[in-house]
Structure 1
Amino acid sequence: MNFKVPRGTQDILPAESWKWQRVEAIIREVCDMYRYKEIRTPIFEQTELFQRTVGDTTDIVTKEMYTFKDRGDRSMTLRPEGTAPVVRSYVENKMFGYPDQPVKLYYQGPMFRYERQQAGRYRQFVQFGVEAIGSADPAIDAEVISLAMEMYKRVGLKDVKLVLNSLGDKESRTAHREALVAHFTPKIDELCSDCQSRLAKNPLRILDCKVDREHPLMATAPSLTDYLNEESATYFEQVKRYLGAIGIEYELDPNLVRGLDYYNHTAFEIMSTADGFGAITTLCGGGRYNGVAEEIGGPPSPGVGYAMSIERLLLAMEAEGKSFTEDAQLDVYVVTLEKAAHEKGFALLQQLRNAGIRADMDYLDRKMKGQMKSADRFNAKAVIVIGEDEVNNGVVQVKNMADGTQEKITDATVIDTLLEKLR
């Protein structure tokens, strides 16, 4: 039987994994600069956690979650997103009692959604996200957005734009909900079955429909920003002023609602404008989610955050022709010519590594020509050659691969000599 990688997943091979490592290093650098600390949560959680927070009318909950019963007959779900687990941990571990608020956290790891595979979208994907929990200051909204923009700047992306909207507070959304119901009801039969069921449960979700997004009713739907009360409108204006103060440009989109029910007030997406990136341009999205902590039994703890797909970040870099430089050059390759030399070379190899020198050798008993070809493929800076004479005389031959020069060095001084040459 031939086994293959499951549909909607991928193997990240060494030729690509170093790029992921570079992105992850940038993530750590930027988060450290903004004072966001890493949190690691389980890959699976109680199903109800996502039902209560993400929303039981969202596509994620109704169609995309990987849910299973464990041996205790408890319903568990592979995490489809990162915010709910982080807030659960915030509440469970009483982080709301920390003296410094908001608590600034970041996470990265695999998420799981059963959706149709597309370019840059997988059923298992790697997500990076930040959460700032414990402050209702609109400046934190702007900080979270600036962190996202800084991340894309650090990897060299230029063709990106920030799209912004306000979903308002509960009062504003109730007024908007009534207007949406009145707008869609007369022609609801023209929309898909999901939209028809959402009309009664959560009409705002209709605006996020992937099937009917081009329907004329969508373009003429009441704008949420027209129903913002004074408090919500003031909050949104403050967020925009903070963004302006730090020079971040944005576009307003009154139909931007995001795909999760927990969002309120600020909602945003960062999109790629690069030619050839694809029909789905969103790179990351997020917003404010006041009320989530209370929904799962915690005290009032306003939060704001965002999440980005590492796969789509790398895809955007490719679309813009951006790339990292791989530092794959080997310092030293050890070539051995017979069994005793192989034993000596193996011991020397460990000494080189202990000294911080990147080194390797042959394990296939190849002739000298084959070993030298390997040294070339690894782009080795130097080659150590050990044969019978070298074993008997306590020396090694060191060849500089850049200029072809070769010299004999004693076993006792080879490490120090190489360190000096490599330096």
Structure 2
Amino acid sequence: MTILDKFKALQGAYETVQSAGHDPFTVCFDEVLSPSEAVLKGKRVILLGTNNYLGLTFDSSCVDKAVEALMQAGTGTTGSRIANGTYGNHAELERRLAAFYGTRAAMVFSTGYQANLGILSTIAGRGDHILIDADSHASIYDGCRLGHAEVIRFRHNDPDDLARRLSRLKDAPGNRLIVVEGIYSMLGDTAPLKEIAAVKREWNAHLLVDEAHSLGVLGSNGRGLVEQAGVEADVDFIVGTFSKSLGAVGGFCVSNLPDFDVLRIACRPYMFTASLPPSVIASVTQALARVQEDPGLRARLNINAQRLYHGLEAEGFILGPQVSPIVSIRMPSTEVAIAFWNALLGAGIYLNLALPPATPDNAPLLRSSVSAAHSGTQIDTVIATITAIGSELGVIAPRSHRPDMTEERQGDLLGEVLWQPGQGQRHNHAPVTGNPL
């Protein structure tokens, strides 16, 4: 017996994945050529699982700003924000984030995971109650575990169930904090945020929205679902990450609460972690400016998301409940999902293999994330390749056995409205571990 014996079942499941071919935990690219293409074992592959929604990882202005800061301020701060880890550009990025969201204050964390971990474990304490969507990201679950509040899950995207659970706390002391996400990372559906905000007001709760996958994607100014749903005045905390649309690494929280800055001396994951290198801060600051200056990035992302979603839908695949940059295909079994993912990688397409228990309803998924940087030709190549492999593996019927899709059903891809809040499919069960991406 060793202290690691408790992980034998997990190791067995991992070995099953490894034995089927490629190992998703050790996929190592020889070279990343662009936001949409890389080289893997000498072969060019289309990148379709990187969350690089706006394609800013190779944006020349972001790269230039990062290089300039690297040369001026060195490779890192070597300290936490309360020690020696606050430079002028850290404070400037926080001012820019607060201005972008129209809030009083902002805090920058070293990762998006750490932002949820720090904020959730700090703002809700013993005697308080956190109500989280059942499909929440792993960082939300972990942040709740680290704190001392009572944690209550409500059914995914179900404001009525949220209200019922709040009603049971009617006479209980303590604060209530509701936690939802803008776009959920596994199926790409959005929260019914207007309805959730109404429940929040009715029960005098606080509301935190994690916009990790919706920053730069939703809203007329790219501020996320909170902006698109028109509920910015109802949201007390917005958490996000720099590792998706902003093309780098890091996280943040913004808030209009007047005493928000006290968290700088109360939040342990903020206080005791080294701050982000100045080069990362510089690239993120520029990426935020690109989001504000170039709405065409969101427009191209919109078109690509529709093209992939509707293309796969037309071929007979079962997808998430609504169009978004996250396009996930439901698989009939874990074994088929693993075989499908390996076949796609062999055919030059990289996307994410998502397996239970870290998926809604414990359904295995092939998860893709579209970028504004993808070309129409790349999207069409992906659709054709996925269709061919899907037919071969029996996930969909061969084309000769499928009816033609009518012009009416195909619709006008460029004119369709995307990502209307409140249209998400409801799931009655969700993993305790939380979604990983």
Q: TM-score, normalised by structure 2?
A: 0.28
Q: TM-score, normalised by structure 1?
A: 0.29
More strand by share: 1
Q: Which has the larger radius of gyration?
A: 1
